[in-house]
Chains A and B, each alone.
Chain A
Amino acid sequence: MKKTKSSKGKKLFFKNETNGVNDPDINTDSVDTEQEKGKEGETVKARETVPAQEIKKGRQKRKKADREPAQDESGEFLPGTAIPEADEIIAEENEPAGQTKTDSRVIKNRGPWQEAFADDNTILIQRTVRSGQSVRFDGNVVVMGDVNPGSEIVASGNIVVMGALRGVVHAGALGNENATVAAFKLQPMQLRIANHITRAPDGDYLTPEYPEIARIKDGVVVIEVYQMGQDRQTKIG
């Protein structure tokens, strides 16, 4: 009898662990989302619009010079113009996945020190975001999967893609110029931070095999190698 209970308990414990019970560093406001829009988009195949990448060793920086502003030739749209629907971002929250019997206070009470550097809302998307799908969130968005061409992610905070980012992303969509976009393969069709817009260069271009991060520096979007640990440090200071 006791044995069964304890083995059950162990299972639960294991489940909790992935929800961050034992790790006070993890912001437990994070929710799993099943957010999806555009049913039709479901059936669309990802197009091969992004050329096959080649490894280019020793490449440290991909500056904005590689990229050009979007929809500018008509003189109608220049970086710095307001972003469409930027004010329409809505937070969609679902019940946290993996409900257990555990006392929720254990994870809901943040330590006071936590407030100092834990970010606010974050959603975790554990799927590929496909053409026609749109994720809009007032907070940070983390995707464990790819973001395909024809899809979009709009967030008031940061966007992290643990996979290939090939769609349109907009971080800091409500105007936060400190927002960043990081991805294992950063090959966005278009990348926007606050009201800065850059787009992929036309034709074939080289993309590195290592994670990169985009942010605004001195008024332009720069893309750099993602340095492990560095962002954590700059954040606190």
Chain B
Amino acid sequence: MGEVIVITSGKGGVGKTTTTANIGTGLAASGLKVVLVDTDIGLRNLDVVLGLENRIVYDIVDVTHGNCRLKQALIKDKRFEGLHLLPAAQTKDKTSVTPDQIRELCAQLKKEFDYVIIDCPAGIEQGFKNAIAGAEKAIVVTTPEVSAVRDADRIIGLLEAAELHNPKLIVNRLRPLMVKRGDMMSIDDIIDILAIDLLGVVPEDEMIVITTNKGEPAVLDNNSRAGQAYRNVARRITGEDVPLMDLEAETGLMYKLKKLIGFK
């Protein structure tokens, strides 16, 4: 029996899709069976980020409407045997599926896969409700910005209300130098507010943009700092104890201490 994890944030553009693609690919790279489910119906992206757009024939709406069997709609990744994508529909909208249908879908998928990872759309409406319906665990993605953190806080509240307890946090697009200068929220600042466990810190990295455009997740690029961070996150998800990487750490506690003693 696999595990169903939803990747959510409230705010758009903070890196849910990037995170879904990279964690999924990272897990599949270590030999696990993974399916990524794009629930951003009408604004699908995950297929593009994975470089699989040209393979889509059936999508999630076709499955829930019974136009095809679930297996027919699963697209096999071109790199990893164990990685699959269930694409969203692009010409429909969020109301074309219901939370009950997604719950049923997840129940089926987790029989076959070690991890079912759900890419949630932005917002707190129907798309969000669909995305979390079948999930057992949640990962909240935020960027070190007040507005994104505010939205993440709102989402954590909604997750708790939906009985999805102990969500984990990923801070994305962190810029250590800006944090050092005091121009960006630090990890500590964020955790102070959100008060949930930290699963990883992903630095701002232009390799993300490059690899995203190429349809090849950064997690496969050994030279990418963000890729390294996502590899760490994937290992933590499987239960390994991986310490925060340098860059992740140097922007946390150390900074706060220095600031207290008057260093800058």
Is there an interface contact between A44 and B48, defined as CB atoms closer than 8 Å? no
Is there an interface contact between A84 and B62, defined as CB atoms closer than 8 Å? yes
B87: min CB distance to chain A, Å? 10
Is there an interface contact between B54 and A190, defined as CB atoms closer than 8 Å? yes
Is there an interface contact between B90 and A197, defined as CB atoms closer than 8 Å? no
Is there an interface contact between A49 and B91, defined as CB atoms closer than 8 Å? no
Write out, one digit per residue, whether chain B residues 38-70 have a CB within 8 A of any chain A CB (1) or not (0): 000011100010010111111000100001110
Is there an interface contact between B57 and A84, defined as CB atoms closer than 8 Å? yes
A47 with B48, Cβ < 8 A, contacts A71-B75, A84-B67 known:
yes
A74 with B71, Cβ < 8 A, contacts A190-B54, A202-B78 known:
yes
Main DSSP-derived SS at the A contact region: loop
* Cα–Cα distance between A76 and B74 once the two chains are bound (Å): 9
B84 neighbours in A (Cβ, 8 Å): 74
Is there an interface contact between A76 and B55, defined as CB atoms closer than 8 Å? no
Is there an interface contact between A199 and B55, defined as CB atoms closer than 8 Å? yes
Q: Interface-forming stretch among A35-43, A139-147, A172-180?
A: A35-43
Is there an interface contact between A49 and B48, defined as CB atoms closer than 8 Å? yes
Is there an interface contact between B54 and A200, defined as CB atoms closer than 8 Å? yes
Is there an interface contact between B56 and A134, defined as CB atoms closer than 8 Å? no
Q: Which A194-224 residues sit within 8 Å CB-CB of chain B?
A: 197, 199-200, 202
In the complex, B213 has a CB within 8 A of chain A: yes
In the complex, A231 has a CB within 8 A of chain B: no
A199 with B213, Cβ < 8 A, contacts A44-B43, A73-B76 known:
no
| Interface size counted on chain B using CB atoms at 8 A | 28
Is there an interface contact between B56 and A190, defined as CB atoms closer than 8 Å? yes
Main DSSP-derived SS at the B contact region: loop
* Cα–Cα distance between A7 and B178 once the two chains are bound (Å): 70
Is there an interface contact between B68 and A84, defined as CB atoms closer than 8 Å? yes
In the complex, A27 has a CB within 8 A of chain B: no
* Cα–Cα distance between A48 and B214 once the two chains are bound (Å): 10
In the complex, B72 has a CB within 8 A of chain A: yes
Closest A residue to B54 by beta carbon equals: A199
Write out, one digit per residue, whether chain A residues 120-138 have a CB within 8 A of any chain B CB (1) or not (0): 0000000000011110000
Is there an interface contact between B57 and A77, defined as CB atoms closer than 8 Å? yes
In the complex, B165 has a CB within 8 A of chain A: no
Chain A: interface size category? 20 to 34
Is there an interface contact between B72 and A76, defined as CB atoms closer than 8 Å? yes
Is there an interface contact between B42 and A40, defined as CB atoms closer than 8 Å? yes
Interchain CB contact (< 8 A) of A49 among B53, B62, B92, B93: B53
In the complex, A107 has a CB within 8 A of chain B: no
Is there an interface contact between A71 and B58, defined as CB atoms closer than 8 Å? yes
A70 with B55, Cβ < 8 A, contacts A40-B93, A49-B48, A131-B90 known:
yes
A134 with B54, Cβ < 8 A, contacts A74-B74, A76-B71, A85-B67 known:
no
A132 neighbours in B (Cβ, 8 Å): 42-43, 90-91
Interchain CB contact (< 8 A) of B43 among A40, A70, A85: A40
* Cα–Cα distance between A76 and B86 once the two chains are bound (Å): 14
Write out, one digit per residue, whether chain A residues 74-111 have a CB within 8 A of any chain B CB (1) or not (0): 10110000011100000000000000000000000000
Is there an interface contact between B54 and A152, defined as CB atoms closer than 8 Å? no
Closest A residue to B214 by beta carbon equals: A203
In the complex, A189 has a CB within 8 A of chain B: yes
In the complex, A149 has a CB within 8 A of chain B: yes
Write out, one digit per residue, whether chain A residues 17-45 have a CB within 8 A of any chain B CB (1) or not (0): 00000000000000000000111110010
Closest B residue to A37 by beta carbon equals: B91
24 A-B interface contacts by CB (under 8 A): A38-B91, A39-B93, A40-B93, A49-B53, A71-B72, A73-B78, A74-B72, A74-B75, A76-B69, A76-B72, A77-B58, A83-B57, A84-B67, A84-B68, A85-B62, A131-B90, A134-B91, A149-B53, A151-B90, A152-B91, A168-B56, A189-B53, A190-B56, A199-B55
Closest 3 CB pairs between A and B?
A: A134-B91, A199-B54, A73-B76
Interface contacts beyond A74-B72, A200-B54: sample of 19 additional A-B pairs, CB < 8 Å, sorted by A:
A37-B91, A38-B42, A38-B91, A40-B43, A41-B90, A70-B55, A70-B57, A71-B56, A71-B75, A74-B71, A74-B74, A76-B69, A77-B58, A83-B57, A85-B67, A151-B91, A189-B53, A190-B57, A202-B215
